Amino acid sequence: MLDKLVLALKKFLYYNFDLFSYRGKKAIEEVSETTAQREKTFENSKYTIGIVKENWHLHSSYIKACHELRISYYVIDFFSKDWLNELKSKKIDLLVVRPSVQYTPWKDMFDNRLSLLKSNYSIPIFPNKEALWIWENKLRTLEFLKVNDLPHPASYIFYDYDDLRKFSESCSYPVVYKASSGSGASGVKILNKRRELLSVSKKVFNKGIRSYRKHKLDKEHGYVILQEYLSNVKEWRLIRIGDYYFGFEKLKEGEFHSGSKNFGYGMPPKKCLSLVRDITEKHNFKFVSMDLFITQDDAYLINEIQPYFGQKDDRELLQIDEESGRLKFNEQTNSWDFERGKFCKNNLCNLRLLEITNILNN
């Protein structure tokens, strides 16, 4: 009950007061001691990593990981007018990137510049450009799932209000409206009646609509994403970092699994692990998480794909029989091996860097 009141108050404040810049300053202040050092050279470091600056300094986890692993690094500022000259002038072996997704123009800038770098320069980018391109963009993710014929909940994208209005006359309710960006169910609405669907859609096609966490000018308009409502499903988040896998169940609270902060642990379903392994191998998504619905009739459906996600206090993301660890697929035995230990430090960035350097070594 208290969590619901806090969320309601947060939504009221974010919608009615311009707190976007304040939130950014607070986030930067919390890690300013870490991010103050833009470069460091370690003796015997085989590689120098280019860490791309995240505008609210979420790249701090990579800096911490570099210090702990004694890997040389330099922070590249994509927000600088001289970003390209800065990149060219430094001896950097690879780029690690966590795009700024809080504001759509920022994410667009990252997408554009990473695409140009991939096309015109040989520097490796991690996670890969394709995974970063669909991150925090449900529109792109849905199109990716459709084009690649991957299992997902029935979903529809409308660019024409009259087309949507006709659909609303015969579709099943409730139906789920999903904003393209927004984490933790912040841009998701369950619409129980036709008039609710038309009300939201008119708003999107006219003034535009924004989720409470977004910048006041950052509205979505011109298209509507709808998804079938699936009741009584389970949702698992499976994470792949290099050759290692983690997973936990996202337990439902109220209407949503996302953002509930309630988790279930144990061995992830083998079908989920196999599906994630197959897709990530095919598309070279070696640093992503996937949210999977398991329906009552045992269908496995992809809800989201994302290279980064919230992870409070370096929480261990896999626990089997109350022991934390990680999984690795054993090709000789065609089974999953469980290695006990703690591997999720610094938002998984230590493990990310170790697996990235393994890829480069091989």
Q: Is the pLDDT of residue 2 over 80?
A: no
Q: Which pLDDT belongs to residue 252?
A: 79
Residue 8: which pLDDT band, with cuts at 50, 70 and 90? confident
Q: Which pLDDT belongs to residue 207?
A: 93
Over residues 79-97, the pLDDT tens digits come to 999 999 999 999 999 999 9
Residue with token string 């060219």: 88
Measured on CA atoms in the order 106, 110, 115, 120, is the torsion positive or negative? positive
Are 132 and 174 in contact by the 8 Å Cβ rule? The answer is no
Over residues 166-224, the pLDDT tens digits come to 999 999 999 999 999 876 667 899 999 999 999 999 999 999 998 888 899 999 999 99
Over residues 67-83, the pLDDT tens digits come to 999 999 999 999 999 99
Q: Do domains 154-228 and 234-361 have the same CATH topology?
A: no
- Which of 245, 228, 201 is closest to 303 using CA atoms? 228
Tell me which of 64 and 232 has the higher pLDDT. 64
Residue 261: which pLDDT band, with cuts at 50, 70 and 90? low
Q: Which pLDDT belongs to residue 254?
A: 58
Cα-based distances in Å from 159 to 139, 156, 162, 163: 12, 10, 9, 8
Q: Is the pLDDT of residue 233 over 90?
A: yes
What is the Cβ-side half-sphere exposure of residue 253, based on CA atoms within 13 angstroms? 14
Q: Tokens for 8, please give them.
A: 């309601």
Are 168 and 198 in contact by the 8 Å Cβ rule? The answer is yes
The whole-angstrom separation of Cα 131 and Cα 126 is: 9
The whole-angstrom separation of Cα 318 and Cα 264 is: 10
Beta strand extents in 204-273 (DSSP E only): 224-228, 234-241, 244-250, 263-264
CATH class of the structural domain 154-228: alpha beta
- Which of 328, 326, 314 is closest to 68 using CA atoms? 314
Cα 361 off chain centre by: 27
**CATH no. for 28-126:** 3.40.50
Q: Which pairs from 127-132 meet CB under 8 Å and 24+ separation?
A: 127/97, 127/285, 127/286, 127/287, 127/288, 127/307, 128/284, 128/285, 128/286, 128/287, 130/283, 130/284, 130/285, 131/283, 131/285, 131/287, 131/288, 131/305, 131/307, 132/97, 132/99, 132/307
**Domains of the chain, residue spans:** 28-126, 154-228, 234-361
Residue with token string 């083998």: 270
Average pLDDT, the chain: 94
CATH class of the structural domain 234-361: alpha beta
Q: Which pLDDT belongs to residue 145?
A: 97
Q: What is the mean pLDDT of residues 139-156?
A: 97
Q: Is the pLDDT of residue 292 over 60?
A: yes
Are 307 and 287 in contact by the 8 Å Cβ rule? The answer is yes
